[in-house]
Chains A and B, each alone.
Chain A
């Protein structure tokens, strides 16, 4: 059980669909993150929000669109995805960004693109 909840846990979608991933943290943290985890690859940081402002965007294709309406919620809107986008998408939060601040992860959304 973690303080970071992600929904849905599994998602199958076609390349032309639009869907959204949701993340909610109950820890009172100020920073939230989206990561992509593919087999045999390091966790890839996609987006970072600090106090609801995007502070980092690691060259992620525009078919991924993040939204952070408040410090407790983070969304990842998906549109016209490609088969190589199939992966585990992890949300995390920390008290603040940077340094050795522990990041608390959700269980992830397993995304499959048909």
Chain B
């Protein structure tokens, strides 16, 4: 079976930096995606990594290490609006759909 592990909850304060980890054990691996979902809202795409290294998009960065079956999402200069659930998702092949983790709820306090 496929397994993605991420913390269930992370707390931080405004202006801080937080890292949400994702480890995976899957039968194949093509790439790792991250999605954000606010309570009651639609999941929205944040980033995608197919190669090792860091991808930066504004305040958000995503990292992948294929040899360690590990990735993380880094959120900088946290804002209250960043309070949401964050999901990692694996593409098993270049033609397959996504397998999602259970999600990490990020709570940002003043």
Contacts and interface: CB of A to CB of B under 8 A. Distances in A.
Contacts of B44: 2, 105
| Interface hub of B4, B87, B97 (most chain A Cβ within 10 A) | B97
B66 interface: no
Interface residues of B, number: 26
Q: Is the interface of A mostly helix, strand, loop or mixed?
A: loop
A45 B41 contact: no
B99 to A, nearest CB: 8
A2 B41 CA distance: 10
A12 interface: no
B21 interface: no
A42 B98 CA distance: 11
Contact of B100 (A43, A48, A56, A107): A43
Given A43-B87, A97-B97, A98-B96, 16 more contacts: A42-B100, A42-B103, A43-B43, A48-B97, A92-B43, A98-B93, A98-B94, A99-B30, A99-B94, A100-B33, A100-B50, A105-B42, A105-B43, A105-B44, A106-B42, A107-B41
Interface of B: 4, 30-31, 33, 35, 40-45, 48, 50, 87, 91, 93-103
Interface of A: 2, 4, 33, 40-43, 45, 48, 56, 90, 92, 97-100, 102-108
